[in-house]
């Protein structure tokens, strides 16, 4: 996984006394809320693993051959598991590791080759554009090499009327404010103020709209 920094410690709320979730719903809630999740723990495969496999299959279907816009929209709705506004536009190929934690506003455009790893939740506001090969990565790994397979997911929030340039990467726990511009190839590790223009690795403010 791509990450800005690895995770040392995180809360274990929502678990039983021995740290194991009570049910598949609990492990999904833990994953979404930033609690460490081990792929070997009980319930992982039935909950998270099942959704991951479905996302892989549907992305393969979406990315194979040509689809008319209406068909592309229908497959995307199956990937995310809920209705998406008809104003949404997507140029496949598109990749996600989960899909069900993606929420989109109106008039969102996602260009060729974008990857949204959304287990921590990705929200994209109205009228925002993602350029080609943008990556939004909400998942991270533990610093301890003996627990490296354990993941911690935290959200990404993209405001309204945001433009994310080609090849930019936005990492977990980042909010990009309304109207901001993220330059091509930027690596965003911290919040971006509304109306700011950021570029570089790590991204920094270089101007304002």
Q: What is the 3-state secondary structure (H, E, C) of the chain?
A: CCCCCCECCCCCCCCCCCCCCCCHHHHHHHHHCCCCECCCCCCHHHHHHHHHHHHHHHHHHHHCCCCCHHHHHHHHHHHHCCCCCCCCEECCCEEECCCCCEEECCCCEECCCEEEECCCCEEECCCCEECCCCEEECEEEECCHHHCCCEEECCEEECCCCEECCCCEEECCEEECCCCEECCCCEECCCECCCEEEECCCCEEEEEC
The structure tokens listed for 85 are: 């506004």
Number of other CB atoms surrounding residue 17 within 10 Å? 5
Catalytic residue among 40, 82, 100, 141: 141
- Of 194, 192, 195, nearest to 204 (Cα)? 192
Known catalytic residue at 82: no
Number of other CB atoms surrounding residue 135 within 10 Å? 19
- Catalytic residue numbers, as ranges: 141
């Amino acid at each position: 996984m791509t990450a800005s920094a690895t995770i040392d410690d995180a809360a274990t709320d929502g678990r039983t006394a021995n740290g194991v979730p009570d049910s598949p719903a609990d492990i999904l809630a833990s994953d979404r809320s930033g609690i460490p999740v081990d792929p070997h723990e009980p319930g992982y495969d039935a909950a998270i693993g099942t959704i991951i496999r479905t996302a892989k299959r549907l992305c393969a279907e979406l990315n194979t051959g040509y689809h008319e816009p209406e068909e592309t929209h229908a497959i995307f709705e199956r990937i995310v598991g809920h209705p998406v506004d008809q104003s949404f536009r997507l140029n496949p190929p598109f990749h996600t590791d989960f899909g069900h934690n993606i929420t989109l506003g109106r008039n969102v455009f996602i260009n060729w080759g974008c990857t949204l790893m959304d287990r921590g939740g990705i929200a994209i506001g109205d009228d925002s554009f993602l350029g080609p090969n943008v990556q939004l990565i909400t998942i991270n790994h533990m610093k301890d090499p003996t627990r490296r397979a354990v993941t911690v997911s935290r959200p990404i929030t993209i405001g309204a009327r945001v433009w994310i340039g080609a090849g930019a990467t936005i990492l977990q726990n980042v909010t990009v404010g309304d109207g901001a511009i993220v330059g091509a190839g930027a690596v965003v590790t911290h919040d971006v103020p509304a109306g700011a223009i950021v570029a570089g690795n790590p991204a920094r403010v270089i101007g304002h709209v």
